[in-house]
Chain A
Amino acid sequence: MAQHQQVQLERVSEFVWEIPRTGGMRVPGRIFASPQLMREIEKDKSPWQVANVAHLPGIVNASLAMPDIHWGYGFPIGGVAATDPLEGGVVSPGGVGYDINCGVRVLRTRLTHADVKNRIQHLIDALFATVPTGIGSSHAIKALSAHELKRLLVEGAEYVVRQRGLGSESDLMHTEEGGRLAGADPSVVSDLAIKRGRKQVGTLGSGNHFLEVGVADEIFLPEVAGQLGVELGTVCVLIHCGSRGFGYQVCDDYLSVMNRAVIKYGIELPDRQLCCAPVESPEGKSYLKAMACAANYAWANRQTITHLTRQTFMEVLGIGPSDLGMNLIYDVCHNIAKFEEHDVDGSPRRLCVHRKGATRAFPAGDRRIPESLRDIGQPVLVPGDMGRYSYVLIGAPGSLTQTFGSTCHGAGRMMSRKQAKRESKGRNLLAEMAERGVVVRAAGMRTVAEEMPYAYKDVSNVVDVMAGAGVSDKVFRLKPIGVIKG
């Protein structure tokens, strides 16, 4: 078992703490936080994990952590690490996480709060009946044959849009990587992963995953919000989920492969959960091909849920697609490893950027974001908790100079799930949420107890750090009015 050690933290600027290089660290660690958040961060093992990631072969510049950092499997949640394949850089499943391409998408509508407030219970009931949630949730659409699934794994959201009619070309344009990560190869995926994936396209799962209807209640950048089709009172939908059992199985299968690879390539690690292989090795290449399949599964999953959501809104409200105007603002992944070109000491280098609980946040002008968004920057979706608010941000220039184009992904938990359950004893949680103006439907009340607002940090503290550091700017805030959960 790895030894947990205290790490030295030095404040180097208003929003950045550094862990100096010691021992086998190849680069320093760097944590973005406010003094208040840092007091919370220091309570768990995550700074130690930031230091551990700095040991990875080929890591460039620094092992980074966003302000919503907390303990994770090997890597901290909220961690960013870029490795250079030409310098022996590695890829690590622990740097991506079990839920490959877990991510969030936000859709705007032409509806205002006044249009839905008297129908919100009906709307949430209908969404809950249409989008499968909870353990073993399946059959949102007819189970795919193994052949169909393999095609989906290569084509991602393109498959469900172009072959199944579950969306539009505009949806694809507003999805990171167009909803299709290159390099996917189903031949390196296990039969068990295929079996687990066939029935689950279009399902939410449980844990912290959700579908939320919210209203824009504060606008920070009116011009940018306007370009995204949002003004005060606009109804939006947030969808948070990932690659379901398929992605979990891919991660699990490759942890065994990587554990053997660490021995084969003589890689010395402070924690065996950082198991990895050189990007250019057969093991590294296979993992990246399988991971791309899972990333594509997740985009197809969120796209299918989007289609079900549009159908449900139209049925419940008795309106057509143009009156609904439910357009995808953007879809981002926050558990992924991707090849991206970044400037390192004045030279462009092709790096393998791991984002585990971190979101890409490219600024205005970047040619890697769609033309329709290029003059404002890439939207970033940061869910808070189901009682308070979530934020839509936009990438700022500081992301490319400080964080390999990355920012935060959520609020981060303040209370363990067990403690949250204890807190909920004797309370009517659904009534409490209703008092806050939020209708909740869930497959299990235990999940509601674990996910209550008091279990989470205030996400505004997290997004303010990244705005202060010049990494991402706040565009608008969404107040939830209805949520479905697993």
Chain B
Amino acid sequence: MPKPVAGHREIDHTADLGFEVWAPDLNTLHAASVRALAELCYDRAAVIPREERFLSVLGDSHEERLVRWLQAVYLLLESDMWLAEDVATIRCCGEEVRGRVRGEPYDPERHTLHTEIKAITYHDMRVECHDGEWETTVIVDV
């Protein structure tokens, strides 16, 4: 059986926004989640990955670590107006997720911003592995 490919898709939610993510391993799931979040917040295709930022988060569970990882990526946007395009390196090890994200500072001439996010929520979130494929659903409060 071929190894599952990582991916994501936006899902319907009445008041908020959300996406499903799937990947062959936990590291790739976290990387795919960054791409999904970026596409909700801005036009990711217009972001040139010419800089890197290091991020590290701790959490007691897969869910807590994923929420905090995505929050850390989002705070690059809110606090520094720095747009992540993808993940360069990532390692989920024990209670820590650490990695480097690629992207660049916001340029109003080239970048289109979409919606501000209040929070990455735990709503119905379960980071699980079924038959070798990791998957989760992320609902963001807007």
- A residues contacting B by CB (< 8 A) are 1-2, 44, 70-73, 77, 98-99, 134-137, 192, 195-196, 205-207, 245, 248, 251-252, 255-256, 272-273, 413, 415-419, 443-444, 446-447, 450, 486
Q: Is there contact, CB below 8 Å, between A136 and B78?
A: yes
- Determine the residue in chain A with the shortest Cβ distance to B13: A416
Distance between A210 CB and nearest chain B CB, rounded to angstroms: 13
Question: Is B10 an interface residue, CB under 8 A from the partner?
Answer: yes
Known interface pairs A206-B142, A256-B64, A417-B142; A446-B115 also in contact (CB < 8 Å): yes
* A195 CA / B72 CA spacing, docked (Å): 13
Q: Is there contact, CB below 8 Å, between A251 and B119?
A: yes
CB neighbours of B90 from chain A (8 A) = none
Distance between A356 CB and nearest chain B CB, rounded to angstroms: 12
- Determine the residue in chain A with the shortest Cβ distance to B82: A136
CB neighbours of A206 from chain B (8 A) = 115-116, 142
CB neighbours of B42 from chain A (8 A) = 135
- Determine the residue in chain A with the shortest Cβ distance to B15: A413
Q: Is there contact, CB below 8 Å, between A444 and B113?
A: yes
Q: Is there contact, CB below 8 Å, between B10 and A418?
A: yes
CB neighbours of A447 from chain B (8 A) = 114-115
Interface size on B (CB < 8 Å)? 32
Q: Is there contact, CB below 8 Å, between B116 and A134?
A: yes
Most buried by A among B13, B77, B123: B123
- Determine the residue in chain A with the shortest Cβ distance to B10: A418
A-B contact pairs, 14 of them (CB 8 A): A71-B15, A134-B113, A135-B116, A206-B115, A248-B119, A255-B122, A417-B15, A417-B115, A417-B142, A418-B13, A419-B12, A443-B113, A444-B113, A444-B115
Known interface pairs A196-B79, A418-B10; A73-B114 also in contact (CB < 8 Å): no
Q: Is there contact, CB below 8 Å, between A135 and B115?
A: yes
- In the complex, the 6 A-B pairs of residues with the closest C-beta atoms, listed nearest first: A206-B116, A446-B114, A207-B142, A416-B12, A135-B116, A98-B118
* A273 CA / B139 CA spacing, docked (Å): 13
Q: Is there contact, CB below 8 Å, between B14 and A413?
A: yes
Q: Is there contact, CB below 8 Å, between B116 and A195?
A: no
- B residues contacting A by CB (< 8 A) are 10-17, 41-42, 64, 71, 75, 77-79, 81, 106, 112-116, 118-119, 121-124, 126, 141-142
Distance between A205 CB and nearest chain B CB, rounded to angstroms: 5
Distance between B117 CB and nearest chain A CB, rounded to angstroms: 8
- Determine the residue in chain A with the shortest Cβ distance to B11: A418
Most buried by B among A99, A134, A248: A248
CB neighbours of B12 from chain A (8 A) = 416, 418-419
Q: A136-B79, A447-B115 are in contact. List 14 more A-B contacts (CB 8 A).
A: A70-B14, A71-B15, A73-B141, A98-B119, A99-B141, A135-B114, A192-B75, A195-B79, A206-B115, A255-B122, A272-B122, A418-B10, A418-B12, A486-B115
CB neighbours of B41 from chain A (8 A) = 135
* A413 CA / B12 CA spacing, docked (Å): 13
Q: Is there contact, CB below 8 Å, between B115 and A1?
A: no
* A44 CA / B83 CA spacing, docked (Å): 34
* A14 CA / B17 CA spacing, docked (Å): 35
* A162 CA / B102 CA spacing, docked (Å): 45
Q: Is there contact, CB below 8 Å, between B116 and A207?
A: yes
* A273 CA / B16 CA spacing, docked (Å): 16
* A192 CA / B122 CA spacing, docked (Å): 20
Q: Is there contact, CB below 8 Å, between A486 and B116?
A: yes
Distance between A420 CB and nearest chain B CB, rounded to angstroms: 10
Q: Is there contact, CB below 8 Å, between A417 and B77?
A: no
* A196 CA / B81 CA spacing, docked (Å): 13
Distance between B126 CB and nearest chain A CB, rounded to angstroms: 6
Distance between A100 CB and nearest chain B CB, rounded to angstroms: 10
Residue of B10, B14, B115, B116 touching A71 (CB-CB under 8 A): B14
- Determine the residue in chain A with the shortest Cβ distance to B106: A136
CB neighbours of B119 from chain A (8 A) = 98, 248, 251-252
* A195 CA / B124 CA spacing, docked (Å): 29
* A71 CA / B139 CA spacing, docked (Å): 12
- Determine the residue in chain A with the shortest Cβ distance to B137: A1
Q: Is there contact, CB below 8 Å, between A1 and B17?
A: no
Residue of A1, A2, A73, A207 touching B121 (CB-CB under 8 A): A73
Most buried by A among B15, B17, B77: B15
